[in-house]
Amino acid sequence: MGQLFQRRANAIATLIVVGVPLLIIATAAAMFALGRSDYMTGVGVPLEQPVPFSHKHHVADDGIDCRYCHTSVENSGFAGLPPTETCMTCHSQLFKDAPVLQPVRDSWQTHQPIKWQRVHDLPDYVYFDHSIHVNKGVGCATCHGAVNEMPLTFKTQELYMRWCLSCHRDPAKFIRPKNEVFNMTYAAPSDQHSLGQELLATNHVHTAGLTDCYTCHR
């Protein structure tokens, strides 16, 4: 009887000694995987919006320029989202009774802006500025992917610090001629390596200090 108890206790002790750390490791691994999964980071997952706005229709099919709606992207930190007036310049005539545009008409009548869900949203302790990137030759598609083909908008990057740093360490890998920033189908040429070095000079890119903490956390 004593013998049996002894063995059982050993088995339980072994289970605790081996099992508990294993369980902790497994839980940590699962949480890490979940944290990095598209579900948690939002990569590739379109958000539910008050109006199912399609960049594919407006940009790729109808040829409207990004700056028509994101008016401040070249000269301020914030790209800007279009006010209801912008939609109404076309939709007071076009599809003017379509049910899908009811929230746009409501917003127009009540003067309450449409409440777009933020697709990209950096934490408040990170400083970001569109204009400097756009003016130094970083394309919209480099950071946002092929927005022009999205029926509903989603992000294509997690926006982790290491992603920002991967470019800040060596922007020559990604930089374009300035007149290609809005070109959504631009492909890096095979001589990007040497072209990138030249463009750093032509676009007046200051690489010093780009990885300093203070650049993004101020």
Interaction with ligand HEC in 86-105: which residues (CB under 6 A)? 86-87, 89-91, 94-95, 100-101, 104
> Judged by CB under 6 A, which stretch of 6-14, 17-25, 29-37, 166-174 contacts ligand HEC?
166-174
Scored b (16 or more CB within 10 A) or e, 115-127 reads eeeebeeeeeeee
147 binds ligand HEC (CB under 6 A): yes
Residue number, 2 or 63, with CB nearest to ligand HEC: 63
Cα angle vertex 35, ends 142, 56, to 5°?
Answer: 35
> Judged by CB under 6 A, which stretch of 1-9, 13-21, 30-38, 181-189 contacts ligand HEC?
181-189
Q: CB 55: neighbour CB atoms within 10 A?
A: 21
Using CB under 6 A, pick the residue from 38, 129, 149, 198 that binds ligand HEC. Answer: 129
Distance, in Å, from the CA atom of 218 to the CA atom of 214, rounded to the nearest integer, reads 5
Nearest to 55 by CA among 128, 153, 137: 153
For residue 60, how far is the Cα from the chain centroid?
20
Using CB under 6 A, pick the residue from 148, 176, 196, 199 that binds ligand HEC. Answer: 148
172 binds ligand HEC (CB under 6 A): no
| Least distance between ligand HEC and beta carbon 120 (Å) | 3
From first CA to last CA, the distance across the chain in angstroms is: 70
Do residues 168 and 211 make contact, with C-beta atoms less than 8 angstroms apart?
yes
159 binds ligand HEC (CB under 6 A): yes
186 binds ligand HEC (CB under 6 A): no
The structure tokens 């929230």 sit at 103
Residues in contact with ligand HEC, shown as a per-residue x/- string from 2 to 41 under the rule CB under 6 A: ----------------------------------------
| Least distance between ligand HEC and beta carbon 97 (Å) | 12
